[in-house]
Chain A
Amino acid sequence: MKLSKVIISLLHGLPTTLILLAFSFIFANLIGLGLAWLYLRRNPIANGFARGYLGLVRGTPPLLMLLLAYYGLPKLFLLVGIDINGWAKLIFGIAGLAIGWSAYLAEAFRSAYLSVDAGQYEAALVVGMDTKQAFLRIIMPQAFLIALPNIENLLIGLVKATSLVYVIGIVDMYSTAVDLSNQNQGVYQLEIFVILALIYWVVVLLIEWGFRRFRKHYQYVTV
């Protein structure tokens, strides 16, 4: 077996990795936004729920979160009479990663929101915007830019965490590599994992490049 074949086989796993990444990132952001909103409420129940969620999830290894999603979610859903045992593993992988990352994103959103200059909100009200417009047009975009470095780090962390879905039997790039190295009986084992590492690195470098471009575009917006 040639190294080029190794590369090609590994790349066959890449789409799964990217699908996992994209969907779990989107859902993590949605849940994270909701949590940040709850966290910022003065209502003690909403606030307490968000704190509890963050405390629990941030102390949980992503690998364990995936296992809990895979074995736990069907049981939880059965409690309300819905059978999701037959759902694709990919969905549980996305759920586990999204739940895990939502907590980190929520914290990033919350702290970014709090660090937007209060004068910006007042200026928006004073030119006649209502509170919703002020939030959507002035506060949110600025909070987003403040949160951006954290979001970038979290996305990169998520790229790496997708490798853990092997634990619930999803065939992504990483588990393809494990299969290859087992088939090969010791040949090229090191090379397989080095190439795998390089592919992940390229994905991460591309993400960093994208964020750099974006930051450059908004370089004069100093929030």
Chain B
Amino acid sequence: MLLELKNIKKQFKNNHVLKGIDLSVEKGEVIAIIGPSGSGKTTLLRNINFLETADSGSMLFREQQIDLAKPTKKQILWARRHMAMVFQNYNLFKNKTALKNISEGLVFGQNKSKTEADELACQALDQVGLLGKKDFYPSQLSGGQQQRIGIARATVLNPDIVLFDEPTSALDPELVGTVLHDMKTLADKGQTMIVVTHQMSFARNVASRVAFFSDGEILEEGRSDEIFDHPQHERTQQFLSAIAEDY
């Protein structure tokens, strides 16, 4: 077991956003998290990498037990340096070029030398076909290019797990494909990922398991074909049939 989440709870004021989430992830798995807007999917990811602090719950990650409600600074830094995240709105560093966006984490998160980091960053850019843009700033790149660099920035760190938060939902439809392609390539290489997504085709075809989120709980979880072909819960059925009209 690479990652095991136990009973994560989080509330904002009186709003119970996570009501006790359990989830385990094996090495090499791709888990898709689907569910209606506001159900707490983003919040779960943000609790896993401590951008938000849970009210209670624990995480077993790489055999280390971490209390999510009271993590130490050391634990936070350690965990973050073995995870990576891809944001919905890319969040590329606006004051850094494409190349530096990728190498920054290698230098400051992993103490690599600048030259080595730049070399690795160039390779990563080359792999997504964007080496020609290495000296461009984010404002000079399309959304799709930015997100592919966002993915390269995450994966160049060789993380044990990558968290994706709706990586394609801010993109123009014709750009979605390129980003999904990059993600599929990653999955095929055996990268462990948790992907919050509204792209049902991705969840169905790439993910090994799907978790359906509703109102702060995982209502249903299982192999992707099981969830899509034989949803057990009424909420899941409603959600899937509503989504089905979208595509």
Chain A residues engaging chain B, CB cutoff 8 angstroms: 117, 119-120, 122-130, 133, 137-138, 141-142, 145, 220-223
Contacts and interface: CB of A to CB of B under 8 A. Distances in A.
Q: How large is the interface on B (under 10, 10 to 19, 20 to 34, 35 or more residues)?
A: 20 to 34
Contacts of B85: 123, 126
Interface stretch (B18-26, B104-112, B178-186, B234-242): B104-112
B89 A137 contact: no
B95 interface: yes
A142 B77 contact: no
Contacts of A129: 104-105, 108-109
A118 to B, nearest CB: 9
Interface of B: 49, 51, 77, 80-81, 83-85, 87, 89, 91-96, 104-105, 108-110, 136-137, 139-140, 153-154, 157
9 contacts: A122-B51, A122-B91, A125-B49, A128-B105, A128-B110, A129-B104, A137-B104, A137-B108, A221-B139
B94 A130 contact: no
Nearest to B97: A220
A142 B80 CA distance: 23
Contacts of A137: 104, 108
B157 A127 contact: yes
Contacts of A119: 87, 89, 91
> Main secondary structure on chain A at its contact with chain B?
helix
Contacts, number: 72
B105 A141 contact: no
A128 B94 contact: no
Given A128-B80, A128-B110, A223 B51 contact: no
A130 B84 contact: no
B139 A120 contact: no
A93 to B, nearest CB: 36
A141 B77 CA distance: 23
Contact of A127 (B51, B94, B95, B109): B109
B50 to A, nearest CB: 8
Contacts of A123: 85, 87, 91-93
B95 A221 contact: yes
Which 5 residue pairs across A and B have the least CB separation, nearest first? A128-B109, A127-B105, A220-B137, A123-B91, A119-B91
A222 B139 CA distance: 6
B144 to A, nearest CB: 18
B93 A124 contact: yes
Contacts of B84: 126-127
Contacts of A142: 94-95
Contacts of A141: 95
Contacts of B104: 124, 127, 129, 137
A158 to B, nearest CB: 26
A137 B81 CA distance: 17
Contact of A120 (B77, B94, B109): B94
Q: Which of A120, A122, A127 is the most central at the interface, judged by chain B CB atoms within 10 Å of its CB?
A: A127
A128 B76 CA distance: 9
B94 A133 contact: no
Nearest to B109: A128
A32 B49 CA distance: 34
A145 B83 CA distance: 31
A128 B80 CA distance: 6
A213 to B, nearest CB: 18
A186 B108 CA distance: 67
Contacts of A133: 108
A218 to B, nearest CB: 8
A125 B81 CA distance: 9
B137 A126 contact: no
User: Which of B80, B85, B93, B95 counts the most A-chain CB atoms under 10 A from its CB?
Assistant: B95
Given A120-B91, A142-B95, A221-B139, A125 B108 contact: no
